[in-house]
Amino acid sequence: MLRVDALTVRFGDVTAVDDVSLELAAGERLAVLGSSGCGKSTLLRAIAGLEAGDGTVSVDGADLTHTAPDRRPIGLMFQDHALFPHRTVEQNVAFGLRMAGKKESARTRRVREMLALVGLEGFGEREIATLSGGEAQRVALARALAPAPKVLLLDEPLGSLDRYLRERLIDELPDVLGATGTAAIHVTHDHDEAFAIGDRLAVMHAGKVLQVGSPGEVWAAPTSITVARVLGHTNEIIDGVTKVVWRADAMTIDPSGPHQAMVDRVHFRGVDHDVRLRTHDGRMLRFLLDDPPAAGNDVRFSIDPARVLRFD
Amino acid sequence: MRTRERIGVGDALMLLPALFIGLFFLFPVGTVLWRGLGGEGLDAVFDLAKSPRQRDVLWFTFWQAAVSTALTVAVALPAAATVGGLSDRARRFVRSLVTVPFVLPTVVVAGAFDELFFATGLDTGDFRLRHTVWAILIAHVFFNYAVVVRVVGTACAGLDGRQAEAARVLGATRWQAWRAVTLPRLRPAIASASAIVFLFSFTSFGAVLILGGPKRATLETEIYRYAVSRTDLTRAAALAVVQLVAVLALVAVSTWLERRRPATTRMARPTRTLGSRPGRWLNVGMATALLGAPLAVLIERSFSTGTGYGLSHYQALGTRVRQLPAPATTALWNSLHYAALATVLAVLIGVVASVVVVHGRSGSRRLFDLGLTLPLGTSAVTIGFGILIALDEPPVDFRTRWWIIPVAHALVGVPFVVRTMVPLLRSIDPSIREAAAVLGASPSRVRREIDLMIGARGALVGGGFAFAVSLGEFGATSFLPRRPEDLTAPVALFRLLSTPGDLLRGQAMALAVVLMVFVSVSVFVIESSRGTAEGSL
Amino acid sequence: MKKLLLSLVTVLLVAVACGEDEGASVVGGDPAGTTVTLMTHDSFAISGSVWEAFTAETGVTVELLQVGDAGTMVSEAILTKDAPIADVVFGVDNTFLQRGLDADIFAPYESRNLDVVFDHLKLDDNNRVTPISFGDVCINYWIDALPGTVAPATLEDLTDARYASQLVVQSPETSSPGLAFLLATISGTDDWEQYWADLVANDVSITAGWEDAYYGEFIAGGGDRSIVVSYASSPPAEVIFADPPIDTAPTGVLLDSCFRQIEFAGILAGTDNPAGAAALIDFMLTNTFQEDVPLNMFVFPASQSAGLPPEFVEHTTVPVEPHIMDPAEIEANRDRWVDRWVEIVLG
């Protein structure tokens, strides 16, 4: 449905988006994962028409490359929400409907529907300045969804929220998008969020899309060390010319195991523990364990070969 | 495709300010200067440079305007910060009160100052304030205080207070936080206000001659002297060219200063903690002393009758005295009528122009910015004479139509709207405009829905200025021939004061007080017309 | 926005439509039914009934245009010479007259009522302008505030140490009475430059205009000086507009110091209604108009046959031999005199 072909955006000498091609099916959610500065926001802005670039963008076969943002059937939810400070919640949500020339009765109905969808019934008359972060985020979502764009682009939509709200919205967002059948590209730097929301996952680095696949596939089999790093794999071992990465779930404490390291520190995480080990050659390793060893002791362990990634 | 740089081609409205300024300012002024310079052309201008007197005049004009501006900013800035921290209603109230000096003729203010100096002993003994440079400077601060309070106060209110709070938490004192964080973000507004104050002081006429005394001469008073007292139109035109060039240079510098800092405001919740409590009281005290005391003198005089205190001077406003072609109330009604028209015109043109200044191509942007500010720094003589000789083309003779008066007033009102609106528009977070675009708003729709709506606050504050300026305008009005029944309140006031007699003087004072009340109430009403939305900024 | 633009355009169009000239030009013949435009300064005032009488008599309607002061008016009349905005101007005084004559803005017209005018007021032999009224710029003093309540009797008295720091005058550069008083001293003293040097030595105060002299420094407005340059008609105004009412004027006039200002009317050379303009000039010399002048403008009618209102006469002293000067002489020397005055007094 959405097709991005060889999209490149340059700012002077810097290439922010470098030859990116993507496809998105109707109703599909694509998560774009990348660290900050990798060009993922610029990618969304270019798809929305807010940045000029080379390459083509089309929706349902219609070439939109030279179409102004206001004429693209694409919605964008901004990282900082960009709510209109001079309008109420209701007026914010109704904005796109007004632009589309919808009648007032239809607008009112749709706004009520959208506010209900994001759990903000009765918030219509509120001023933007009086909203909390989570409320503002939901208003932004409702506003972006209200005109029923074919594609919704979400730029770090949960970035500024507290953990509790984030986790709740990670659950709700797919439901909301599913309820409206909107295809979405969700940009984030957080792999948990990307895994939870994306039907598919695209990993971005330095302006390029390095790998696309289901979250499970990508996590299990990154195609390069860079992708592995973006996914949060930190345990890199050089084994000759091959780079080897031990996944964080690859370790088992095993007194007869082949590896030994000192337990540097242990963070309790609730369900499990985040264990940092220091090898004798000074390398830092990080694993997740249900039953951690005490800090300060040496520990022997083994690695599940099925959970080891190799890059040539 | 980069939409931020794009201006809707359909924005034919852009032509409106261009036409207005072209027809009613550039064309008349160009014509009068061309005619005035006559055969001598620019030689007449260069001759000025050879005259030591004119060099002195030029220097004094600059000097007093610069010092007046610095003083006004210094005195009014703390008040502006305090006003920014007030509640919306209180802010509107203060903003409308401070416009009062705008409508007072210098003759009246000078009288009040004299009385005040006399009463406080400032004008007895060796030190007399009258006819010193200080008197000019004090008067300029008095007249222009409102400019800084209103323009900067409006910008203050739109600031996100959290940055200053962050600085406080990082160990900055209140003053340090204000200087390091708040002040830089106010710079565009301060530059804007300073430009207006400078131009007002640059072209000030009454304050220089009446308070400064007959020895002082500025470009403005010299233009009058040559054009009117000596009918030496060549010399007057040469001086007007110098004035125009000087103003152009100044406006160019000020717009450059203003643009240098596109400090974006996130429009977040402003905090209301600017200024300490004693500081606030100090501000209130200073403002009261500076603005309130002379006004109190006027009010006292307006009620003072031959037999004590009473309303007789006010009652007299309704009956025609022989010096006036109509009762003073007719003049008041005319003035209100003209001011309303001038305000609508100024807001309409100023708003469109502001959008062009902020979004237009760099060429049109600069032209608009310069062109629209020029009238503020142009002599009333130049404008009045220009309209008179340029707009005489048959079949339309604009010169003696009554509406040329509000049009001339609007010329001076437009820069106020532009100067209050542009900093606001520049402070709009670009992502808000992009959000609107993505939601389906065309570029011209974005201007309307975002720029105009958020800028409306500036437009209203500018409109309030335009109203006040029009209500008090004397110079250009007096140069435009008008039917007797079309006289304005300031013209009537001047007439009342030009024949001896306590009754006439009392009535003049009553008229001045009514003007004061009118302007503050009107400005309050104008600025309240968008109350709730403003609260969210 | 578009609606606003539309309505603005409509307003402009309507204004344009209304602006079309309706009056047909009448040369020579009967002006009845035409409109004649009279341009004058802001101090002009006349009763509405007077104009009604004019229209009833001649069928001509008068439209008034008022602008600034006399100087502004003359400058503008000169500037608009090729496309005049009026048919007749009134209010050109003898200090500005020559400027208008030199610029050739007037069409000669000898009014059939000219013989009622005092002879000494007729300053232009070619009748390009017609005298309508006159007044005198004189030294005024506040009787009770004079040092020792002794009034000055001559111009020379003002240099007497008795009147030190008592006199306030306007600058001839920016003020019409200021210029008139300078001319009075040039005409009335042997050595006017020395006279002004003496006034400076006697701490004369200079203001830019009449208002700030009379209401700023003169005792009438709360100032501390008892002698001011004003008009011979100021004392009656003080009585007529007194609050509470009084019987005698608090101010007096120094008759030796008076300079006669004569106000003229003239037909503008570019007029397209000379017949109407001529009718207006004739009318301005009738008793109907002339007798309305004193209490409206506080000046005297130029007509010998006009009666004067008693309250005006009662408190007015008319100088027998006011200083008077040929407009050509004024024009030829004014700038030089004023420059010299500036050197002596302000320098």
**Does the CB of C17 have a partner CB in chain B at under 8 Å?**
no
Residue C282 has pLDDT above 90, yes or no: yes
- The mean per-residue pLDDT over the stretch C278-293 comes to 96
Q: What is the CATH number of the domain that holds B192?
A: 1.10.3720.10
A99/B535 touch (CB, cutoff 8 Å), yes or no:
no
Q: Based on the fold, state whether residues B297 and B348 are members of the same structural domain.
A: no
State the pLDDT at residue C157.
94
Tokens 């940055």 appear where?
Answer: B163
Rg, chain A, Cα only: 23
Q: How far is A295 from chain B (nearest CA, A)?
A: 36
Burial class (CB in 10 A: 0-12, 13-18, 19+), C114: middle
Tens digit of each residue's pLDDT (9 = 90 or more) over B422-462: 878 887 888 898 999 999 898 888 888 888 888 887 888 88
- The mean per-residue pLDDT over the stretch B63-86 comes to 87
pLDDT grade, residue B258 (50/70/90)? low
State the pLDDT at residue B530.
60
Determine the residue of chain C that is closest to B112 in CA distance. Answer: C216
State the pLDDT at residue A312.
75
Q: Considering its fold, how many domains does chain B have in total?
A: 2
Tens digit of each residue's pLDDT (9 = 90 or more) over B88-126: 788 888 888 888 888 888 878 887 887 777 777 666 666
Tens digit of each residue's pLDDT (9 = 90 or more) over B244-256: 988 888 888 877 7
Domain ranges of chain C: 13-134+261-310, 136-260+319-345
Of residues B469 and B117, the one with the higher pLDDT is: B469
| Tokens describing residue C70 | 């006399």
Determine the residue of chain C that is closest to B398 in CA distance. Answer: C19
- The mean per-residue pLDDT over the stretch B118-144 comes to 79
Interface test with B, best of C35, C102, C173, C311 (most B CBs within 10 A): C173
ipTM: 0.85
State the pLDDT at residue B259.
64
Tens digit of each residue's pLDDT (9 = 90 or more) over B382-433: 998 888 888 777 556 777 788 889 999 999 899 889 888 887 888 788 889 8
Of residues B192 and A43, the one with the higher pLDDT is: A43
State the pLDDT at residue C243.
84
Q: Based on the fold, state whether residues B262 and B329 are members of the same structural domain.
A: no
Residue B68 has pLDDT above 90, yes or no: yes
Main-chain dihedrals φ then ψ at residue A74, nearest 5 degrees:
-125, 135
CB A225 within 8 A of CB A236: yes
State the pLDDT at residue C17.
41
Determine the residue of chain B that is closest to A79 in CA distance. Answer: B431
Task: Select from B115, B395, B499 the Cβ nearest to the Cβ of C222.
Answer: B115
Q: Which amino acid is at B121?
A: G
State the pLDDT at residue C4.
46
Residue B363 belongs to domain spanning: 310-537
Tens digit of each residue's pLDDT (9 = 90 or more) over A4-26: 999 999 988 889 999 999 999 99
- The mean per-residue pLDDT over the stretch C148-164 comes to 92
Which long-range contacts does A168-174 make (Cβ < 8 Å, 24+ apart)?
A: A169/A134, A169/A137, A169/A138, A170/A196, A170/A197, A171/A196, A172/A118, A172/A119, A173/A141, A173/A197, A174/A29
Q: Based on the fold, state whether residues B506 and B471 are members of the same structural domain.
A: yes
pLDDT grade, residue B531 (50/70/90)? very low
State the pLDDT at residue B339.
95
Task: Select from A66, A69, A129 the Cβ nearest to the Cβ of B437.
Answer: A69
Q: Determine B/A contact with 3+ CB pairs under 8 A as the test.
A: yes
pLDDT more than 70, % of chain B: 88
Domain-embedded: residue B10: no
A99/B429 touch (CB, cutoff 8 Å), yes or no:
no
Q: Give the CA diameter of chain B.
A: 76
3-state secondary structure of A64: coil
Tokens 């008793």 appear where?
Answer: C287
Task: Select from B269, B440, B446 the Cβ nearest to the Cβ of A129.
Answer: B269
State the pLDDT at residue B126.
62
When mean pLDDT is compared across A98-107, A166-175, C2-11, C24-33, the lowest value belongs to: C2-11
Q: How far is B215 from chain C (nearest CA, A)?
A: 6
Residues of C in contact with B504 (CB under 8 A): 237, 241
Measured CA angle at C15 (ends C11, C20), to 5 deg? 155
Q: How far is A12 from chain B (nearest CA, A)?
A: 14
- The mean per-residue pLDDT over the stretch B57-63 comes to 92
State the pLDDT at residue C10.
46
Report the distance separating Cα C230 and Cα C139, nearest Å. 6
Residue B478 has pLDDT above 80, yes or no: yes
Residue-level length of chain B: 537
Query: Which residues are CB-contacts of A33 (< 8 A; sequence separation ≥ 6)?
Result: A188, A189, A190, A191, A194, A201, A202, A203, A204, A230, A231
Q: How far is A65 from chain B (nearest CA, A)?
A: 9
Q: Based on the fold, state whether residues B64 and B131 are members of the same structural domain.
A: yes
Q: Based on the fold, state whether residues B291 and B318 are members of the same structural domain.
A: no
Report the distance separating Cα B476 and Cα B382, nearest Å. 9
Q: How many CB pairs under 8 A join B and C?
A: 192
State the pLDDT at residue B320.
84
pLDDT grade, residue B529 (50/70/90)? confident
Residue B318 has pLDDT above 60, yes or no: yes
State the pLDDT at residue B201.
93
Task: Select from A74, A82, A129 the Cβ nearest to the Cβ of B432.
Answer: A82
Residue B269 has pLDDT above 50, yes or no: no
- Convert C88-145 into a string of H (helix), E (strand) and C (coil): EEEEEECCCHHHHHHCCCEECCCCCCHHHECHHHCCCCCCCEEEEEEEEEEEEEEHHH
Averaged confidence pLDDT in chain B: 82
Tens digit of each residue's pLDDT (9 = 90 or more) over C324-339: 999 999 999 999 999 9
A80/B266 touch (CB, cutoff 8 Å), yes or no:
yes
State the pLDDT at residue B270.
42
Q: Based on the fold, state whether residues B131 and B43 are members of the same structural domain.
A: yes
Report the distance separating Cα A153 and Cα C201, nearest Å. 86
- The mean per-residue pLDDT over the stretch A21-32 comes to 93
Interface test with B, best of C211, C225, C295 (most B CBs within 10 A): C211
**Does the CB of C67 have a partner CB in chain B at under 8 Å?**
yes
Determine the residue of chain C that is closest to B485 in CA distance. Answer: C64
Residue C11 has pLDDT above 90, yes or no: no
Interface test with B, best of A70, A71, A76, A77 (most B CBs within 10 A): A70
Q: Based on the fold, state whether residues B327 and B296 are members of the same structural domain.
A: no
Q: Based on the fold, state whether residues B314 and B296 are members of the same structural domain.
A: no
Determine the residue of chain B that is closest to A67 in CA distance. Answer: B1
State the pLDDT at residue C28.
58
Give the distance from CA A216 to its chain's centroid.
15
State the pLDDT at residue C172.
93
Chains in touch with A (3+ beta-carbon pairs under 8 Å) read B
Can you name the CATH fold of C136-260+319-345? Answer: D-Maltodextrin-Binding Protein; domain 2 (3.40.190)
State the pLDDT at residue B267.
41
Other Cβ atoms within 10 Å of B262 Cβ, number: 12
Residue A51 has pLDDT above 70, yes or no: yes
Averaged confidence pLDDT in chain A: 89
Q: Based on the fold, state whether residues B499 and B360 are members of the same structural domain.
A: yes
Determine the residue of chain C that is closest to B476 in CA distance. Answer: C68
B439/A70 touch (CB, cutoff 8 Å), yes or no:
yes
CB B294 within 8 A of CB B108: no
Which long-range contacts does A246-250 make (Cβ < 8 Å, 24+ apart)?
A: A246/A285, A246/A287, A246/A303, A246/A307, A246/A308, A247/A307, A247/A308, A247/A309, A248/A286, A248/A287, A248/A288, A249/A287, A249/A288, A249/A304, A249/A307, A250/A287, A250/A303, A250/A304, A250/A307, A250/A308
Nearest to B205 by CA among B397, B379, B36, B436: B379
Residue C14 has pLDDT above 60, yes or no: no
Q: Based on the fold, state whether residues B295 and B318 are members of the same structural domain.
A: no
Of residues B81 and A139, the one with the higher pLDDT is: A139
pLDDT grade, residue C98 (50/70/90)? very high
Determine the residue of chain A that is closest to B452 in CA distance. Answer: A86
When mean pLDDT is compared across A85-89, B80-84, C110-114, the lowest value belongs to: B80-84
CB B470 within 8 A of CB B338: yes
Domain boundary residue, one of B245, B280, B301: B301
State the pLDDT at residue C61.
95
Burial class (CB in 10 A: 0-12, 13-18, 19+), B508: buried
State the pLDDT at residue B395.
54
Domain-embedded: residue B445: yes
Domain boundary residue, one of B278, B301, B324: B301
Residues of B in contact with C61 (CB under 8 A): none
Task: Select from A51, A52, A78 the Cβ nearest to the Cβ of B435.
Answer: A78
Range 142-181 of A in CB contact (< 8 A) with B: 143-144, 147
A52/B450 touch (CB, cutoff 8 Å), yes or no:
no
State the pLDDT at residue B160.
66
Q: Based on the fold, state whether residues B262 and B357 are members of the same structural domain.
A: no
Of residues B8 and C237, the one with the higher pLDDT is: C237
Residues of A in contact with B160 (CB under 8 A): none
pLDDT grade, residue B277 (50/70/90)? low
Domain boundary residue, one of B271, B301, B331: B301
Range 132-191 of C in CB contact (< 8 A) with B: 170-171, 173-174, 179
Q: Based on the fold, state whether residues B179 and B322 are members of the same structural domain.
A: no
Of residues A204 and B53, the one with the higher pLDDT is: A204
Tens digit of each residue's pLDDT (9 = 90 or more) over B203-235: 988 888 888 888 888 999 999 888 888 888 888
Domain C13-134+261-310: give its CATH superfamily: Periplasmic binding protein-like II (3.40.190.10)
Residue C25 has pLDDT above 90, yes or no: no
pLDDT more than 90, % of chain C: 65
pLDDT grade, residue B537 (50/70/90)? very low
Range 108-137 of C in CB contact (< 8 A) with B: none
